[in-house]
Amino acid sequence: MEPDLFTAAAEERQEKDPAASPLAARMRPRTLDEVVGQRHLLKPGSPLRRLVGEGASGPAGPSSVILWGPPGTGKTTLAHVISKATDKRFVELSAITAGVKEVRAVIDGARRATGGFGKETVLFLDEIHRFSKAQQDSLLPAVENRWVTLIAATTENPYFSVISPLLSRSLLLTLEPLTEDDLRGLLRRAVADERGLGGSVELPGDAEEHLLRIAGGDARRALTALEAGAGSALAKGERAITLETLEDSVARAAVRYDKDGDQHYDVASALIKSIRGSDVDAALHYLARMIDAGEDPRFIARRLMISASEDIGLADPHALPTAVAAAQAVAMIGFPEAALTLSHATIALALAPKSNAATTAIGAALEDVRKGLAGPVPAHLRDGHYQGAAKLGHAQGYVYPHDLPEGIAAQQYAPDAIKDREYYTPTRHGAEARYADAVEWTRKNLGRGRP
């Protein structure tokens, strides 16, 4: 909500004693020109520039915006810069703690400020993806009527997590992970700047490179790790943050993977596509990321079962039983041992010969059915076990294949509309080669073989 006496007191204390705040907070930019990265969003005349009053005059006021990007790319930073630079009334909410009641209070206050004092309101809503559809709906009248200018931040794909009406009334601005050069400049500024470490420590090149590796494009993570390393070095009476000190103070980088967001689907997709491409090492990498992030092993096992039929099929008839066995095993044992079973299945599937013939076959058959190419079942194939079936001609003329020497009867099985269709086109990959021979032989003996 709007600043209260306690917030103001906390901010005053931080100004007098910078060490009371984390390094990442102390190094937060104060102007748009200090923002690291995101140059594509900060050009003259951009929506963010106009929000702080640059070129905002005239009938076309600044639009509401949705900031979408990975953690640590500057979404909250941009909002705070705008809050300090703009002459508009600025209100901040977090979707983690706020609800419809708080949103309505902000909107009511914005309408009073506009009507009574001509003061526009900027509402910064962090973590908007945590709002339900109903909670997001409560923002629509205010955004549509420009009672507030909304700045919403999310780490989740807005096309999945933000309602369409709100998306259509806002500009979607995508923030990119910071480059190594962006982060390098930020780290060096933090080491030297009085708001940061004030030159109290030095950052050798090898330690700086390690910080860049573990940051993963996340400025907050880079500064947090730097602060931890600096604290360890100063505690030991050392001026330089050595690589050894840094590794001791920062155990490892957290894997960027949100089990409820688009990273969940992106990494799962990469796992399956790596298996499809027979790159066993890439497949194991993505599997490890999912395991390390605490993904449900049953979800992984389900994806492997789908892959076994979708991408391998009869090229390796053992692929599906292997995947099913893995799914049964992980349901019984769970992590950490389930990692071994999932690795077993992933390796087997990645190295198996590949065929999507089963996938394309059912796809082609479904397409014809949906086009209306069905037609009645041939009379000789219809059920003839009930009284009166014979009078209707059902089951009359049916030839029982087991009565024939070769076990195949040359009679029509498909409806007339698709009697000449061939849906299954086997490859010659792996074990499917023998199915290709079988298909050719059976179609010929059914009187349907190609000349």
Digit-coded pLDDT (tens) for 317-348: 999 999 999 999 998 887 788 899 999 999 99
Instruction: Select from 313, 40, 280 the least CA-distant residue to 182.
Output: 40
Query: Which residues are within 8 A (CB) of 386 and not within 5 positions of it... i.e. 6 or more apart?
Result: none
DSSP track, 321-370: HHHHHHHHHHHHH-TTTHHHHHHHHHHHHHHS----HHHHHHHHHHHHHH
How many whole angstroms separate alpha carbon 53 and alpha carbon 90? 13
Instruction: Give pLDDT tens digits for 186-231.
Output: 999 999 999 899 999 999 998 898 888 878 778 888 899 999 999 9
pTM of the model: 0.56
Longest dimension (CA), the chain: 102
CA distances from residue 286 to 173, 257, 262, 418, 451 in whole angstroms, order as listed: 28, 11, 15, 43, 47
The helix or strand, by DSSP H or E, that contains position 92, with its residue range, turns out to be strand 89-94
CA distances from residue 304 to 290, 297, 307, 311, 339 in whole angstroms, order as listed: 13, 11, 5, 10, 13
- In the sheet that holds 171-174, the strands lie side by side as 89-94, 121-126, 149-154, 65-68, 171-174
CA distances from residue 250 to 138, 224, 232, 243, 269 in whole angstroms, order as listed: 42, 9, 10, 10, 30
How many whole angstroms separate alpha carbon 170 and alpha carbon 159? 13
User: What does DSSP say about strands 65-68 and 89-94: parallel, antiparallel, or unpaired?
Assistant: unpaired
Joined tokens for residue 405? 């020497």
Joined tokens for residue 307? 């892959």
Written as tens digits, the pLDDT of the chain (451 aa) is 444 444 445 455 555 555 568 888 888 888 888 888 888 888 887 777 877 766 554 455 567 889 998 887 888 888 888 877 777 788 889 998 888 889 899 998 888 887 766 778 888 999 999 999 989 999 999 888 888 888 999 988 898 889 999 999 888 988 887 888 899 999 999 999 998 999 999 999 988 988 888 787 788 888 999 999 999 999 999 999 998 888 888 765 445 555 555 567 788 889 999 999 888 888 999 999 888 777 888 889 999 999 999 999 989 999 999 999 999 999 888 778 889 999 999 999 999 989 998 998 988 888 888 888 877 777 776 776 776 667 677 777 787 788 788 887 777 777 877 888 888 888 888 888 888 888 888 888 887 755 4
How many whole angstroms separate alpha carbon 76 and alpha carbon 86? 15
The pLDDT assigned to 5 comes to: 43
| Burial (CB count <10 Å: 0-12, 13-18, 19+), residue 356 | middle
How many whole angstroms separate alpha carbon 365 and alpha carbon 362? 5
CA 191 to chain centroid, in Å, comes to: 34
Q: Among all chains, which residue has been given the structure tokens 């893995």?
A: 326
